[in-house]
Structure formats: C-alpha cells, structure tokens
Amino acid sequence: MFKVLKNLKKSSISVIIIVLLLCVQAWADLELPNYTSKIVNVGIQAGGIENVAPVIIRKTQMDNLLLFTEDDDEILSYYELDTKHLSEESKKKVKKYLNDKQYIEQESIYVLKNLTKSEQEELDSIITKPFMIAYSITNEEMQSEIKENMLTNLPQEQKAVMEQMSVIDILNQMPEEQKNEFIQTMNDQIDKQLGTMISQAAISATKEEYKALGINTDNIQNNYIFVAGLQMLGIALISMSCAVTIMLLSSKVAAKLGKTLRQKVFKKVLGFSNKEFRNFSTASLITRSTNDIQQIQMLISMLFRVVVYAPIMGIGGFIRVLTGSDTSMAWIIGFAILSIIAIVFTLFIVAMPKFKKLQDLIDKLNLVSREILTGLPVIRAFNTEEREEKRFDNANVDLMKTNIFVNRSMSIMMPALMFVMNSIMLLIIWVGGHNIDQGIMQVGDMMAFIQYTMHIVMSFLMISMISIMLPRAAVSARRINEVLETNESIKDLEKTKEFDKNKTGLVEFKNVSFRYPDADQELLTDITFTAKARRNNSNYRKYRFRKIYYCEPNSTFL
C-alpha cells in the first residue's frame, strides 16, 4: 500500500493544503459545542450576563457587599469610583449600559476597570459569596426571614427596637464576633443549598443590581445571544468552506493518483512478453488497470479526512470533555468506544475474508467473459453454448453471493452503530438530568457534552469505515504492485551501439539460441547468419517492369 502512496509526491502541495484545512475544520467543529453551551447557560439562563462581578454597581450596594468580606482593598482595586472624572474606558462602559438621563439621576456608582481573563476570574471568586449575602439581606422577601433568625435569642425589649431597623443597621451594631458568626452561617447555608452552582445563582444578584440601576436586562440578553449566534454561524461557515475545499482537493488528488497508476500499469504492460501475459492473463490485467485502481482512488478520496480529521476530533473532543465539562460522565464515552470497537471487530472477523476474495472473483468473471466473447465462432461451430453458459453462470453466481454477503454485513453494521449512538445519547440525558437536578452541572454543559461525545463516536465510526475499505484497497494495491514490479523477460539494452549508415538494412545473428518459456531444452542453438539489404528500390522496380514487359501473353510471372 505504501508503495502505491509514494505516487502522491506529485500532489504534495495539495496534500499539505488538505491537512491544514482539516486542522482548521476540526478546530471549528470542536468550538461549536462551546458556543451552544454559552448560548444556553449564559444567554438564556443567565440573561446574557457572563460574570458575577457587575460592570456597574451602586456605591451603597458595594458598601453592603464589603461588610461580608475581608478583601475590601482587593475588590475596590478592580473598580473605579464615579467622581465625574472617569477614564475614557469607564465612560464607554457607562454609556453602554446607562443613558444620559439615568446617569444624571443615578447615585454614586463604581465602574469595573478593564481586566484580563485571570483578573476577572479572581474577582468573581472573591466577590461571589459576599455579593450573594448582600443581595439576600436587601431582598424584601428574604430580609424578614433573615431578621427573624438574627433576633431569635434577643430580649423582647431589644427585639422590639431592632425590628424597626434594617438588617444592615443591625449588623453594624453587632459585636464583631457575632457578626462574623452570622457571616459564616450565611456562607454555610449558601454552600449547602447551591453547591457548585453558586456562580450561576450569584448572577441573579447581578441581574437584580442592573435592574436597580435602570439597565434594560432584556437588551443585554438579546445582544449576547445575537452576537454569540453570529459567531457560531461564522465558525460553521468556516467549517463548511473547509469541508467543501477538502473534498474538491481530495477528489483531485485521488483522480491524479488514478491517472498516474493507469499510465504506469499500461506502460509496463506494453513491455510484457508472452511469458508475462500467461502469468497474469489479459482479463486480470484489465481488472487491475480499472477496478483495482478505482478502489485505490476511492480510498484516497476519503483517506485524508479520516487519517487526519478523525484522530483530531476524537482526541480534541475527549480533551474538551475532560477540561470543559463534568468528568463524572467521561465513563460514558469509554463505554461508547468499547461498544463500537466490539461491533467493528466482529464484522472484521466475519467479512474480511470475503473482501479479499472479491477481486479474484472479478478476475475470474472477466476471464470467462473474454474467453467466451473472443471464442464465440468456435463455440458455435462446436455447439458448446450450454457448457459455456454454465461456466459463466458459475462465475457470476460466485461473485453475486460474495457481494450479497459483504453488503449484508455492511447493512448490519450501520444500524448497529446508530443504535449505539442513540443509546449513548439517551444515557447521557439520563445521567445528565440527574446531575442537573442535583446542581452538579448546567443544561448547556450537558448539551455540549452530547455534542462532544457524538464527535468522538463519529470519529471512531469514520475510522471503522475506512478500516473496512482499507483491506480491499490493500489487496488492490498488492495486485497493482505485482504488475509494476514484474521484470520483463525481454529488455532493451540501456545503451546500444551507434548504427553504421553503410550497413543500413543489414541484419546479423551471431551465436543466437532460443527456447520457449518453461521449456526443458533449446529449440534453436548457436544460430549465426547475416541477412543483407535488398538491392536499390529504384533499380528493382525497373527490373521488375522490364520482366513484365517482355513476358509472353500466356506465361506466368513468379
């Protein structure tokens, strides 16, 4: 097989372009599930708000937030207080969220500075719980419940006075130790109720803060979904463009390889003697020049997409699953891969011997057809039509049975693999549904996990399909190499003597011997003779004319 693939050197530039485009397409296809997850988790569930830390926050709410954390200085270092002398970046952010009227009527605000990704993640991690507590104590529905828990153990007189106060005022009057105990209790309740979903729940507090500022949160959501959707369409367009270009280039490379192989085989056959023709037979050479080369061409048109694309998709999808989603469901991918391998391996054991036999049966059918067609007058003369029809029917039936067996095997494989894919999808939904119910993962993460799993499973399906085509193509490649690597029994010398112009037309044999291929002894031994050129053509024509001119009317000229 590798000897045949060496002929791809002429298309090396196209091959390199195909590999690069496959890498780009794989990146695009692996990026799409991430955008699906973003649209569901952020665009729909979080209202288009990506981070917990608000871009704009009221000073009073910031002061409330700082009551529940010891990282006051660090949090404030990420914000710029509105002193009517904001930086240009902060002014742009304010205009993005607030119109001039809202800005004038608004109390003092903090505006988030331009942060790097790591700084944004750090700020979100330290502000999440304090912001959740600050939101809880300012929420009217939760405020009464919190106040009741705070005043439970207080004397009746003190309790009556503090009931008229806000939760913030009560906290400010609490001793430091008691206040810290309250904060720790609130943190424990948040951890117990929300678990790993704290960040998603904290975004609801950010949304309420935006509403308190008069910001239209519906516009934030619509803008986020619109931009993410456009980005997703752009990536899908890149993937589609790469796929179309890859198919065009692959078809061109495969067609060029087929042309090169046909030229080489035909040129090689032209130099064959009767000995080589008896070894291969004319029918076999025709099959090798057409059907076998066609098998190689079909394989090459799909080979690059599978050899390069499928491993990138499989490995890349598995890495995305391990790094970007819940790893507790990774066992499902392993189960899917093992199921596919088991199905393909079983079909290999059953169907592979038949794949290898197909080409020989095609040779046999071509041989019988050629013998019957070329010898048709003789067959009719000896009245053996029935015997030849039976011989053709036997070859035809053998080929038909083998093809039916192979096609049945392939027809079983695809439904079995699709059953595995659909079963895996149901398993993911069932396990993911429980995880969502327990607050371990989000809906968008489950959808992304399904897409990544399908990418991984499809990559293995592609590899299994090409592995079924490969043995048949390998048989064809071996048959083509047998022709190309055959040494001719009659060869021209690489360097011959220059012709002597004075000996034009002279043929001389010196000590020549000859035997038929596979004969036990030589037919001619040590033959030496010289055949001189005939006389000048013009003189010969004159002599011939004179002889005819002078012959008797009834005489015969020899």
Question: What pLDDT is attached to residue 230?
Answer: 94
Question: What pLDDT is attached to residue 366?
Answer: 80
CA distance 75 to 87: 18
Tokens of 465: 């399909």
* 296 CB neighbour count, 10 Å cutoff: 24
Share of the chain above pLDDT 70, in %: 81
Is a pLDDT exceeding 50 seen at residue 184?
A: yes
Q: For residue 38, give every residue at least 6 positions away whose Cβ sits within 8 Å of its Cβ, in sequence order, or none.
A: 228, 444
CA within 13 Å, CB half, 436: 14
* Cα dihedral sign, 35-41-45-46: negative
Reported as a pLDDT band with limits 50, 70 and 90, residue 241 is: very high
Question: Nearest-CA neighbor of 257 among 212, 220, 225, 295?
Answer: 295
- Its pTM stands at 0.69
Question: What pLDDT is attached to residue 142?
Answer: 63
The per-residue DSSP string of 503-520 comes to GTT-EEEEEEEE--TT-S
Task: Tell me the pLDDT of the chain averaged across its residues.
Answer: 79
Reported as a pLDDT band with limits 50, 70 and 90, residue 1 is: low
Question: What pLDDT is attached to residue 244?
Answer: 92
* 43 CB neighbour count, 10 Å cutoff: 25
CA distance 21 to 480: 31
Cβ-count burial of 204 within 10 angstroms (0-12 exposed, 13-18 middle, 19+ buried)? middle
Q: What is the mean pLDDT of residues 338-356?
A: 77
Question: What pLDDT is attached to residue 347?
Answer: 76
pLDDT higher at 214 or 183: 214
459 SS3 class: helix
pLDDT higher at 158 or 445: 445
* 63 CB neighbour count, 10 Å cutoff: 13
Q: What is the mean pLDDT of residues 255-277?
A: 84
Write the pLDDT tens digit of every residue in 366-386: 888 888 888 888 888 888 888
Question: What pLDDT is attached to residue 558?
Answer: 38
CA distance 41 to 30: 18
Is a pLDDT exceeding 60 seen at residue 542?
A: no
CA distance 182 to 174: 10
Question: What pLDDT is attached to residue 83?
Answer: 62
Q: Beta strand 79-81 with 56-58: parallel, antiparallel or unpaired?
A: unpaired
Reported as a pLDDT band with limits 50, 70 and 90, residue 234 is: very high
Is a pLDDT exceeding 70 seen at residue 188?
A: yes
CB 226 within 8 A of CB 234: no
Which domains does the chain show, CATH number per domain?
40-225 (no CATH), 271-484 (1.20.1560.10), 501-550 (no CATH)
Is a pLDDT exceeding 90 seen at residue 474?
A: no
pLDDT higher at 520 or 21: 21
Question: What pLDDT is attached to residue 231?
Answer: 93
Question: What pLDDT is attached to residue 470?
Answer: 74
CA distance 9 to 77: 61
Place of tokens 């990420």: 78
Phi-psi map region of 556: left, alpha, beta (phi>0 left; psi -120 to 50 alpha): beta
214 SS3 class: coil
Reported as a pLDDT band with limits 50, 70 and 90, residue 546 is: very low
Question: What pLDDT is attached to residue 535?
Answer: 61
Most confident option among 396-400, 418-422, 461-465: 396-400
Q: What is the mean pLDDT of residues 303-327?
A: 76
* Eight-state DSSP code of residue 374: H
Lowest mean pLDDT, pick from 11-15, 303-307, 481-485: 303-307
Query: Strand runs (DSSP E) across 363-506, as ranges?
Result: none
CB 48 within 8 A of CB 224: yes
CA 86 to chain centre: 49
Place of tokens 């009560």: 170
CB 313 within 8 A of CB 30: yes
Reported as a pLDDT band with limits 50, 70 and 90, residue 15 is: confident
> What does each C-alpha distance from 73 to 77, 78, 87 come to in angstroms?
6, 9, 20
124 SS3 class: helix
CB 260 within 8 A of CB 15: no
Is a pLDDT exceeding 60 seen at residue 539?
A: no
Question: What pLDDT is attached to residue 543?
Answer: 45
* 158 CB neighbour count, 10 Å cutoff: 10
CB 300 within 8 A of CB 250: yes
Write the pLDDT tens digit of every residue in 499-525: 777 777 788 888 888 877 667 788 888
